[in-house]
């Protein structure tokens, strides 16, 4: 019983009725988990910390962590990518600099490829979407479309919101990616307390901070914040605007303040611990083959008793990230510019495009990065009929790995643009 790995050894050194076919129980597996399985944890907030804790306790010894928050002194004892000189810097920048210093010339892709498993403990849909798409882009396929398994890096995605949580196993190009299930996530309106306290980036973060921290600092427990009182909402709005000014954040209105005040969701430590445990268990199963891993979604609902269930979310064959997404747009070739078409694609929430480049009719129409950006920038102001013909298939590729094929069909328009009749 003295060994910290007593329970793990039971799992790895004995076979059993639930062991996977082909599982070879042996004591060397523990050493394998400890020194050969490289795990990247993304997100070092409440859930990320629980993940690191559970991974270390489960014998994983090759751990790295990246996050987008700034680093403070209290982070340093648990995050080995960071040094004292890094305090106050953004973690992702430091992590990128660390990778560059330790492995000069190693690209972002090579960095992610160096891991056997990636576990995400993020509170942002965008960030989770991004890492899922990144791993899809790293999974290679041959000419027949078969996936090269040696390039598949499993993603275990944990998420918590108050008393609810989920753990998912995603095998890029094999099972559903994050984008395949984007419809399951309502637009985000609530914020984790750690984000609003340390790294406000949006007006909403300042409002949440004002109502949760500044209100109590000002009034203590004598006065309970009344979310329906004009006076109280105005106080929160004013305090939030002052905090926003410190961080260069604007756009704090009365209406927004009221909206945020009625939607705040606290972080619950026990939910984080439970979901981290579920994620790390999947990591052990994937790393050692000791039992079948989750296929592919575990859901926990703890606000009205304890309810859990698992189900397999189907892969979307037309997913814009891991499938082939084709859409047709009927547009005005004479009046819509290439830039407007591009904006309309970015605004389409279902496509999850951030900064796409466009190719069509055998030429580059607009390139978001590199020397071609300068050369193609002017095309954004041209009308579609000036740059392509009706029926052209435009290949839209995004920095996050998504590819969408858009066929533009021009509306039949009567009259001459010059006489004003068609305007």
Residues marked as catalytic: 194
Beta strands in 347-389 (DSSP E): 357-360, 363-366
Inter-residue contact 365 to 379 (CB < 8 Å): yes
- What the block records as the tokens of 51 is 């993940």
Inter-residue contact 55 to 63 (CB < 8 Å): yes
CA end-to-end distance (rounded Å), the chain: 81
Distance separating alpha carbons of residues 356 and 320, to the nearest angstrom: 12
For Zn ion, the closer of residues 91 and 315 by Cβ is 315
For Zn ion, the closer of residues 170 and 388 by Cβ is 170
For Zn ion, the closer of residues 167 and 177 by Cβ is 177
Inter-residue contact 292 to 286 (CB < 8 Å): no
Distance separating alpha carbons of residues 234 and 211, to the nearest angstrom: 11
- Nearest Cα to 194, choosing from 294, 68, 320? 68
For Zn ion, the closer of residues 52 and 322 by Cβ is 322
Q: How far is the CB of 129 from Zn ion (least distance, A)?
A: 10
Q: How far is the CB of 296 from Zn ion (least distance, A)?
A: 12
CA angle 370, 375, 378 (to 5 degrees): 125
Q: How far is the CB of 166 from Zn ion (least distance, A)?
A: 17
Q: How far is the CB of 181 from Zn ion (least distance, A)?
A: 8
For Zn ion, the closer of residues 66 and 180 by Cβ is 180
Inter-residue contact 25 to 13 (CB < 8 Å): yes
Distance separating alpha carbons of residues 313 and 180, to the nearest angstrom: 9
Inter-residue contact 402 to 351 (CB < 8 Å): yes
For Zn ion, the closer of residues 177 and 196 by Cβ is 177
User: Measured at CB, which residue is nearest to Zn ion?
Assistant: 319
Q: How far is the CB of 284 from Zn ion (least distance, A)?
A: 26
- What the block records as the tokens of 76 is 């340093």
Distance separating alpha carbons of residues 292 and 23, to the nearest angstrom: 10
Q: How far is the CB of 398 from Zn ion (least distance, A)?
A: 13
DSSP 60-89: --EEEEE-SSBP-GGGTTT-TT--GGGTTS
Distance separating alpha carbons of residues 237 and 253, to the nearest angstrom: 7
Q: How far is the CB of 299 from Zn ion (least distance, A)?
A: 19
For Zn ion, the closer of residues 30 and 134 by Cβ is 134
Inter-residue contact 296 to 17 (CB < 8 Å): no
Tokens 């989770």 locate to 128
The footprint of Zn ion (CB under 5 A) covers 177, 179-180, 319, 321-322
Residue 120 host element (H or E): strand 117-121
- Side-by-side strand order, sheet with 62-66: 62-66, 38-42, 117-121, 155-161, 164-170, 297-301, 307-311
Inter-residue contact 119 to 113 (CB < 8 Å): no
């Amino acid at each position: 019983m003295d060994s910290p790995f007593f329970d793990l050894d039971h799992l790895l050194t004995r076979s059993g009725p639930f062991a996977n076919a082909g599982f070879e129980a042996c004591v060397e597996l523990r050493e394998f988990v400890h020194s050969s399985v490289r795990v990247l944890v993304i997100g070092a907030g409440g859930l990320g910390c629980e993940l690191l804790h559970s991974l270390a306790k489960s014998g994983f010894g090759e751990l790295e962590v990246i996050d987008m928050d700034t680093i403070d002194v209290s982070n340093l004892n648990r995050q080995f990518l960071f040094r004292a000189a890094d305090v106050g810097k953004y973690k992702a920048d430091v992590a990128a600099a660390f990778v560059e210093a330790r492995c000069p010339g190693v690209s972002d892709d090579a960095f992610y490829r160096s891991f056997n498993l990636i576990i995400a403990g993020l509170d942002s849909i965008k960030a989770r979407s991004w890492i899922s798409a990144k791993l899809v882009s790293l999974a290679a396929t041959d000419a027949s479309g078969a996936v090269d398994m040696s390039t598949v890096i499993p993603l275990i995605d944990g998420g918590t919101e108050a008393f609810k949580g989920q753990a998912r196993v995603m095998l890029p190009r094999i099972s559903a990616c994050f984008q395949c299930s984007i419809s399951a996530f309502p637009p985000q309106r609530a914020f984790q307390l750690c984000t609003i306290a340390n790294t406000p980036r949006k007006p909403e973060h300042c409002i949440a901070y004002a109502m949760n921290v500044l209100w109590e600092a000002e009034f203590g427990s004598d006065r309970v914040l009344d979310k329906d009182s004009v006076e109280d909402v105005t106080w929160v709005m004013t305090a939030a605007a002052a905090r926003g000014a410190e961080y260069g954040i604007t756009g704090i209105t009365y209406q927004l303040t009221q909206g945020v005040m009625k939607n705040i969701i606290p972080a619950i430590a026990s939910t984080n611990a439970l979901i981290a445990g579920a994620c790390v268990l999947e990591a052990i199963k994937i790393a050692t083959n000791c039992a079948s891993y989750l296929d592919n979604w575990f859901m926990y609902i703890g606000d009205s008793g304890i309810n859990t269930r698992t189900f397999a979310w189907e892969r979307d064959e037309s997913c814009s990230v891991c499938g082939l997404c084709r859409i047709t747009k009927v547009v005005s070739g004479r009046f819509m510019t290439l830039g407007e078409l591009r904006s309309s694609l970015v605004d389409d929430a279902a496509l999850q495009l951030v900064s796409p480049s466009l190719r069509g009719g055998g030429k580059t129409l607009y390139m978001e990065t590199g020397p071609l950006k300068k050369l193609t920038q002017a095309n954004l102001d041209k009308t579609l009929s000036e740059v392509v013909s009706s029926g052209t298939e435009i290949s839209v590729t995004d920095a996050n790995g998504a590819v969408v094929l858009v066929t533009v069909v021009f509306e039949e328009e009567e009259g001459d643009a010059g006489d004003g009749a068609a305007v």
